[in-house]
Amino acid sequence: MDISLNGAPHRFDGSSLIELLAAQAIDQTKPGVAVAINEEIVPRAEWKTASLKAGDAVEIVRPHSGG
């Protein structure tokens, strides 16, 4: 299905957030990452149960140098 990932179109074969994070090589055991779907924050405890549907806008953020 087609979703938006960090602002860019993204073709994704899975159906869950956890699959997407794994496909993006996000280490789910480490702190320093946060996720929102359609501008709603998904708490880490819910990563494993969150599902995705076509058209969803997923944001994966990290701390960067700045400010």
Partner 1 sequence: MSKIDAPPVLTIAGENFGSALMAGTAGYPNRQVMLDALAASGAEIVTVSIRRADLNAPRESLVDLLGGKYRLLPNTSGCATAKDAVLTAGLAREALGTNWVKL
Which residues here bind partner 1, judged by CB under 8 A?
5-7, 24-26, 30-36, 39, 41, 43-44, 59-67
Nearer Cβ to partner 1, position 18 or 34?
A: 34
CB of 6 to partner 1, least distance (A): 4
Nearer Cβ to partner 1, position 18 or 26?
A: 26
Rounded to an integer, what is the distance from CA 13 to the centroid of its chain? 14
Q: How far is Cα 28 from Cα 8, in angstroms, rounded to an integer?
A: 22
Helix (H) or strand (E) holding 18: helix 17-23
